[in-house]
Structure 1
Amino acid sequence: MLNYFLKRLLDMIPTLLIVLVVVFMFVHLLPGDPARLMAGREADAAVIAMVRQDLGLDRPLYAQFWRFFTHVLHGDLGTSMASKRPVTNEIAIRFLPTLWLTLTSMVWAVIFGMSIGMISAIWRNRWPDRLGMTLAVSGLSFPSFALGMLLMQVFSVELGWLPTVGAESWRHYILPSITLGAAVAAVMARFTRASFADVLQEDYMRTARAKGVREFLVITKHGLRNALIPVVTMMGLQFGFLLGGSIVVEKVFNWPGLGRLLVDAVEMRDYPVIQGLVLLFSLEFIIINLLVDVLYAAINPSIRYR
């Protein structure tokens, strides 16, 4: 296991190098001139040229990339063009609100999604299954921004029960977490149903029932553990999706997180912030995939890594 873990860590290095190149090229292909945006609409060509020189955008592209690459190796993601503060500080301020929102969304999405999937698999092709899959398809089909605005209209505007913007208390997390986690719960429900339905047909499940084991223990002890491996894979991918894909939800609810920071950075063509955020999201996906692979051994000790 240790050798496998170390090998995967080493495999991350070329992946991150590729991500660095792709992120840098993608950002510099965005339309618009950051120097003109920073200088203002009324600035003349001389002022824009001075701003471009101050930002380092007058250098050749390869020189800009080498500077970006060497700074990243030292843990420096650069300085924001808009706020003039280090990008690491900008990310650190916004990271915790996004992390807590993601964790809240993931917890309820996993609980409800797996519950609906298990119930649908046990009562397959009957009314609980049809109801559960209808809810799952609805969760996948409804756009997150539309769901967010609908929830705000009902629970904030009409009923006045919940706040719409901010992250000051637990009540602020309810509507954004429901909006963000709805699609994940739907995916988890469909994936759990498919995995659990296959496990229920296995011989060891029939053997356990033949031995007189209670149905609850057959489902939870024998069935759930064996059905969890593909579900854990999907869970890890969905968690990475939530961390990096909360942009629309954070914009709708004016959430002070990384998603809104990325939108603001794109609007201002703030290259260092965009590069830092995309690099962070990529690193999160790589680490989550590694942790998911390691969790396989905890779920099923029969798995061996070579």
Structure 2
Amino acid sequence: MFSYVLKRLLGLIPTLLLVAVMVFLFVHLLPGDPARLAAGPEADETTVALIRADLGLDQPIHKQFVRFFVNAAHGDFGTSLRSKLPVSQEIMERFWPTLWLTVTSMVWAVIFGLFIGVFSAVWRNEWPDRVGMTLAVSGISFPPFALGMVAMEVFSVQLGWLPTVGADSWRHYILPSLTLGAGVAAIMARFTRSSFIEIMKEDFVRTARAKGLNERIVIAKHCLRNALIPVVTMMGLQFGFLLGGSIVVEKVFNWPGMGRLLIDAVEMRDYPIIQAEILLFSLEFIFINLVVDVLYAVINPSIRYK
């Protein structure tokens, strides 16, 4: 297992280099002059030029990239143009609310998605299947921002049960996590159902039933483990999408996370924040893919020898 993980880690180096180049070029193609925005609309050209030189934006693009890459490799992403605070400090303050919101959303989405998907597969074409797939289609079809506004209107404004903004207590996590995880739960249910139906047609499942094993044992021991490999792939990708795609939900609920920070940075052309956040999101996807590959080897040991 160690050699397998080591090979996967070494294979990430070219990907990281490519991601760093793409992030740098993407940010510098954004319209607007960050030096002008930092100086203010009343500043003269001399002041703007001084700020541009202080930010290093007057240097050739390749020198800017080398400086960005070297500093990023040492964990230094510069200073925010908006708050004048270190970028690493800004991100760390916003990272944990986003991470816990994503984890909370993923936990309940996986539990409900697997539950609905397995029941729909076992009771295929019967009323549990129809009810489960109706819920799944509804979850996929309803946009997160619309679901969030409806949830706030019903549970906060009309009933007064839950708070609408902030992240001060566990009650603040309920509505944003339900809004963020609804689509993932729906996709999980449909994916699990499809995978389970395919596995239940295999010969080893028929053999297990022919031996007289209890149906629950057949489903839990023989079907579930073999059906998990494609499901784990989807879970990893969805977790990455939740981390990077919580921007809309954070905006709706005024959540103090990385999504709101990124929106503010784009509006102010805060290059250091934008570069660091996009690079962080990319690294999260790469790391999640690595974890998924390792889970493959845990679920099916024959994979690591191929």
Confirm or deny a common fold (TM above 0.5): yes
Q: Report the counterpart of residue 171 of structure 1 in structure 2.
A: 171
Shift of 1:51: 2.1
Shift of 1:53: 2.1
Residue pairs, 1:265-304, within 5 angstroms: 265-304=265-304
Q: Report the counterpart of residue 159 of structure 2 in structure 1.
A: 159
Rounded Cα–Cα distance in structure 2 between residues aligned with 1:23 and 1:53: 22
SS at match of 1:165: coil
C-alpha contact (below 8 Å) 2:176/2:253 kept by paired residues: yes
Residue pairs, 1:198-237, within 5 angstroms: 198-237=198-237
Residue pairs, 1:108-123, within 5 angstroms: 108-123=108-123
In structure 1, stretches of 5+ residues that fail to align are none
Q: Does 1:305 align with 2:305?
A: yes
Moved more, 57-66 or 270-279: 57-66
Q: Report the counterpart of residue 247 of structure 2 in structure 1.
A: 247
Deviations 1:115-152 (A, max 9, x none): 11111111111221122111111111111111111100
Shift of 1:50: 2.3
AA partner of residue 79 (structure 2): T
TM-score after normalising by structure 1: 0.97
Shift of 1:200: 0.9
Rounded Cα–Cα distance in structure 1 between residues aligned with 2:71 and 2:188: 40
Shift of 1:245: 1.0
Name the Cα RMSD after superposition.
1.1
Identity in percent:
75
Rounded Cα–Cα distance in structure 2 between residues aligned with 1:76 and 1:49: 24
In structure 2, stretches of 5+ residues that fail to align are none
Shift of 1:35: 1.4
SS at match of 1:78: coil
C-alpha contact (below 8 Å) 1:55/1:81 kept by paired residues: no
Deviations 1:166-219 (A, max 9, x none): 000000000000010011111101100000001111111122122121111111
Rounded Cα–Cα distance in structure 2 between residues aligned with 1:68 and 1:302: 42
Q: Report the counterpart of residue 28 of structure 2 in structure 1.
A: 28
Count of aligned pairs between the two proteins: 306
Residue pairs, 1:126-141, within 5 angstroms: 126-141=126-141
SS at match of 1:303: helix
Shift of 1:303: 3.0
